[in-house]
Amino acid sequence: MKAAIISCAAIGIVTVLATLFVEGAKTSDLAGDADGERHGRQLMTELVPHRLACSSCHIDAGAEPGELTLVNAVARYPGDRIRQRINECVTRNMNSRPLDAYGAEMTAIIAWLHFLADENAVMKTSRRETNPLAFVQSGHTPNAGAGERVFEKRCADCHGKDGAGLSASRDPARGYLFPPLWGPESFPNASEMNQLSTLARYIQAKMPLGQADLNETEAWSVAAFLTSMPRPHIAK
């Protein structure tokens, strides 16, 4: 248990250092006003309706390559489609109110996504080699019981045995260092993360954080366990 706590603490420290590293990148180009990249990245990590933030799923505010990266978001959703996609994520995946499509928060987030799209952005070029192997769906039936056992062994030290996550600080408004995976503050039933294949792919590619070594069977089983657990209900 002591080793697990140390491991979680180390991951937390690395997360903080990564945040400081990104904020230091291209400092002269990062605007301090509401439509600047710096403010957009801050919103990705601190805009926490129901205490979940964009970075609860999009690691390093979307700068991390691989599953759920946002480095290609503006190319995938050109023009106003990116505004629609952001609000779809905010309402469907975070169970919150939509942002003003042309307001300061939306403008700043899009500025950050454009920053990520730059081929010369530090976080894109220096971390490209960390992309995970391609995910291959198998024909086996995921086992929620087996998934629960894997969760207790590999996931609970950071996300809690009760799936309630680990708060970033004593102030609830600061959100989570490690997000809840079920319960009233987790992602809702309508979320894309509540889809078995999406969650299994993400788990195999990214979890446990910093040591993503679960095999496909384990990832699918953990996903089956998590999607069987209670969570907020919103209309799909």
> Tens digit of pLDDT for each residue in 21-33?
333 333 334 444 4
List pLDDT tens digits, range 174-183.
Answer: 889 999 999 9
Length of the chain: 236
Q: Each residue of 93-114: b (16+ CB within 10 Å) or e?
A: bbbbeebeeeeebbbbbbbbbe
Of the two residues 174 and 129, the one the predictor is more confident about is 174
What are the structural domains of the chain?
2-130 (1.10.760.10), 144-227 (1.10.760.10)
Q: What is the mean pLDDT of residues 29-52?
A: 74
Confidence check: pLDDT of 78 > 60: yes
> E strand or H helix at 80, and its extent?
none
Q: What is the mean pLDDT of residues 61-90?
A: 93
What is the pLDDT at residue 235?
64
Reported pTM: 0.80
Give me the percent of the chain exceeding a pLDDT of 70.
74
